[in-house]
Amino acid sequence: MSASTHQENMVKISGRTFLMGSDSHYKEEAPAHPETVGTFWIDALEVTNRQYAEFVNETGYITVAERPLDPRDYPNALPGALVPGALVFHKTSGPVDLRDFKNWWRYVPGAHWRAPDGPESSIKGREHHPVVHVAYEDAEAYATWAGKRLPTEAEWEFAARGDLEGAEFCWGDELEPNGRFMANYWQGEFPYQNLNRDGYEHTAPVGSFPPNGYNLHDMAGNVWEWTSTWYAPANRPRGDACCSGISHKESMIESYDPVQPHIRIPRKVLKGGSFLCALNFCRRYRPAARSPQMIDTGMNNIGFRCVKDAQ
């Protein structure tokens, strides 16, 4: 199928200056500040397994999670540990230390976008769920094939707000207006008690929840989404690389994780939260929320959508 097929089902967003970030939540979202974006087109839905399969079938692309690992990149790895795979969420049997993500994330050999839970799983029946286990270059490769690109953090947040200036959520300031679920997120005590009141234990088919004011679905919850913006711990005004006074290389280096100085892998900004975001752990199903992600790593709660420049 031609990539031109994926030019459809996009929404045109007229650019302007808006209030980006939040001073009321996590520190990396501050300071709230005016940011200006141009006019652009954005996918109304997250990229699905069916769409990604079309891309792979046409191009023969192999994702990062499916490729052999180079021992030179992992000098301290145990023999036999360097096998292709990905991180998969596993619900715990009870309360755990929420400061240690290793309590609920496991590296599963053989996990990738076509086997999201491990080698015995498949995407059969999940064709309309968002594709997951895509590293940054996997998302970028699809976007290029489709004649699009990945959104900047500012574009993504502006679109997610749905013309509601400063609102806490994509749909307003109440999480569940009139008791209605507006997004796919975790209900209960993370990571062991999922009450599943929204009807979905893991990902949901794209478009399962109401759209925001710009008619965009799943801008909160379901899966985190890649942006093209290098992560910085403060959500300061950045603008385009050519105008911000910070070079591309400087921004990339700044994105390294200071907690793990021995790991020199740059990080991009993820937006939107996922089905794993919970009140007791990760209230990041909001437009202002942001999270860093190493560009070589996909997980089963990370996907993406694409944008195009307006002509």
pLDDT at 249: 83
Of all residues in the chain, what percent carry a pLDDT higher than 90? 82
Q: What is the mean pLDDT of residues 2-16?
A: 75
The neighbouring-strand residues paired with 88 are 106
- d(CA 282, CA 276) in angstroms, rounded, equals 8
CATH number of the domain bearing residue 96:
3.90.1580.10
> What is the residue-averaged pLDDT of the chain?
92
**pLDDT value at position 69?**
82
Q: What is the mean pLDDT of residues 101-110?
A: 96
Question: Distance (Å, rounded) from C-alpha 83 to C-alpha 3?
Answer: 32
Task: Return d(Cα 146, Cα 273) in angstroms, integer.
Answer: 25
Strands 224-230 and 302-303: parallel
165 contacts 213 by C-beta, under 8 angstroms:
no
Q: What is the domain extent for residue 177? A: 3-309
Could you tell me how many residues make up the chain?
311
Q: What's the pLDDT score for residue 5? A: 45
- The encoded tokens of residue 78 equal 């145990």
Tell me how many domains the chain contains.
1
Q: Would you state the pLDDT for residue 264?
A: 86
DSSP, residue by residue, 198-211? TS-SS---TT-S--
CB 158 within 8 A of CB 18: yes
| Confidence at residue 290, expressed as pLDDT on a 0 to 100 scale | 97
Q: How far apart, in whole angstroms, are the C-alpha atoms of residue 24 and residue 167?
A: 11
How many of the other CB atoms lie within 10 Å of CB of 201?
A: 12
Region of 247 please: left (phi>0), alpha (psi -120 to 50) or beta. beta
**Rounded to whole angstroms, how far apart are CA atoms 175 and 237?**
28
Per-residue confidence (pLDDT) for residue 253, from 0 to 100: 82
- Roughly what angle, to the nearest 10 degrees, separates helices 136-145 and 49-59? 80
Q: Residue 246: its pLDDT value, please?
A: 65
**3-state SS assignment for residue 36:** strand
Is the pLDDT confidence value at 36 over 90? yes
Q: Which amino acid is at 84?
A: P
Is pTM beyond 0.95 here?
Answer: no
